[in-house]
Amino acid sequence: MFKSASVSVSLSKADFKKREPALRSALLDAQQEMIASRAFSTLIVIAGVDGAGKNDAVARLHEWMDVRHVVCNAYGPPTRVERHRPEMWRYWRDLPPRGKTAIVVSSWYNDPLRDRVLGRDDQCTFEQRLARINRFEALLAHEKVLVLKFWFALDAKVQKQRLDALRGGKARARRILTEWADIEHSPDAQAVFQEAALTTSTVSAPWMVIPSEDAEARDLALGRSVELAMTHRLAAEPGEPVAVPAALARLERPSSVEAIDLGKRLAKDRYEEELEHWQRKLAHLVDRKAARKLPLVVVFEGNDAAGKGGAIRRLTRPMDPRRYRVHRIGAPSDEELARPYLWRFWRNVPRKGQTAIFDRSWYGRVLVERVEGFCSEADWARAYNEINAFEADLQEAGTLVVKFWLAISKEEQLARFEARQETPYKRFKITDEDWRNRLKWDAYATAAGDMIDRTSTAGAPWHLVSAEDKRHARVTVLKTLCKRLKAAL
């Protein structure tokens, strides 16, 4: 699943009690306005791992909302009546009218996920079923249904403890445990979940992750997400395509880029040794016959002043200058502005044996363009899938895609900015824009977290690198690239 699923988050009971009343009344207000306007209906899909407390969260939501206008639909194995009809029939039948809210437990995702994990469906059938789900949800979104999908996530270890405790417990609790709970953290299952989550996170119905280790934080995140999505929808112009802001996904918790451990350091002598070691390794790898047939794309994103340039220089030193190009991505040219935003990157797709290094990249669409409002919400919300498709095209043509996020703390950034300003030969590196961006630190962190969630694919995952210590960052980048290259050759 999404990387943010593993970001730990907790809330004290006292804090929860303090915040609950405000949330309840905001949620109720939003619901009442939806009921009064009958502008849309709300469909809340609850999914996630066993033991995450989905039922408790749903119970709390019931408690908070006006239950006269909420139904809960849970689907088990199809009944005889249901089996005699198309798979989607029962979900269609139970669609709530406008003004009402339906909470769906064990939804249309269950069977496709299970059938793929258990090997009953081949990859093609799985993709067809996901495409059908996308068509279904897109139709609903166009037809005045607000579709909110929540994935309740739990760390594998925590889940195991809980399930073990349950197994020792009451018969009723034991009954709910299936073999399923034991395999859902297997690498195969995780890969299937991730593919499903990415494929079905569309503009109108993205998945939102609810970290579920802490019950209070879990319920607050669920309630607040529903409230915000309803309010967002109520404010939308009629007829306007409404995106559920991906930002909702990380409410009430740090973004996954903020959760990066910045404490890692590398001493100077170790650094020089390791740097030489990995540079030699890289030189050897790119010289291999197979590497001469491999197109390679390396992407660098990260906080301003995180040291992308320095890391790139360490990377290119052992490489043949005829076989790589560094693309520094700034404001687009007139030529580029007159065409779809991906055009400037498609132009620079490397051919076999060539390496294209991007110092900032197409991810600008979901970072700076999103934060600064250079494109509409619909534009950047759409971009995650467009970017995944672009990188899938690259990979299908045999390209290895390696992506780095270089992270520093806000304090370290300030220190580096000041150093740049004070050192004459570094002053060119710092602009007013850098200072302006710094003011939007939190918005950038949110955008980066969503980006990591939505574009970490099986073939092209993000590598999160602590750059608080430049030496550590440079060696980690080199080492990671060598490992990815070795695996690909």
Rule CB under 8 A: which residues touch a copy of itself?
38, 41, 81, 84-89, 92-93, 95-99, 124, 127-128, 131-132, 135, 139-140, 142-145, 239, 241, 295, 335, 338-343, 346-347, 349, 351-352, 376, 379, 382, 385-386, 389, 393-394, 396-397, 399
How far apart (Å, rounded) are the C-alpha atoms in residues 213 and 159? 9
| Closest CA relative to residue 38, chosen from 100, 103, 94, 104 | 100
In the bound state with a copy of itself, the residue whose beta carbon lies nearer, of 291 and 473, is 291
In the bound state with a copy of itself, the residue whose beta carbon lies nearer, of 396 and 422, is 396
As measured in angstroms, the least distance from the Cβ of 137 to a copy of itself is 11
In the bound state with a copy of itself, the residue whose beta carbon lies nearer, of 85 and 313, is 85
As measured in angstroms, the least distance from the Cβ of 438 to a copy of itself is 30
In the bound state with a copy of itself, the residue whose beta carbon lies nearer, of 124 and 487, is 124
List CB contacts of 57: < 8 A, sequence separation 6 or more. Answer: 46, 152, 210, 212, 218, 219, 222
Asked if residue 33 lies in contact with residue 234, where contact means CB atoms within 8 angstroms, the answer is yes
Phi then psi dihedrals of residue 363, to 5 deg: -70, -10
In the bound state with a copy of itself, the residue whose beta carbon lies nearer, of 339 and 436, is 339
Count of alpha carbons within 13 Å of 206, Cβ hemisphere only? Answer: 28
As measured in angstroms, the least distance from the Cβ of 232 to a copy of itself is 18
Asked if residue 412 lies in contact with residue 265, where contact means CB atoms within 8 angstroms, the answer is no
Phi then psi dihedrals of residue 357, to 5 deg: -105, 125
* 244-260 b/e (C-beta count within 10 Å ≥ 16 → b): bbbbbbbbbbbbbbbbb
As measured in angstroms, the least distance from the Cβ of 91 to a copy of itself is 9
In the bound state with a copy of itself, the residue whose beta carbon lies nearer, of 84 and 268, is 84
As measured in angstroms, the least distance from the Cβ of 38 to a copy of itself is 7
As measured in angstroms, the least distance from the Cβ of 10 to a copy of itself is 40
In the bound state with a copy of itself, the residue whose beta carbon lies nearer, of 43 and 452, is 43
Q: What is the residue-wise DSSP string for 36-53? A: HH---EEEEEEEE-TTS-
| Closest CA relative to residue 249, chosen from 233, 234, 231, 229 | 229
As measured in angstroms, the least distance from the Cβ of 354 to a copy of itself is 9
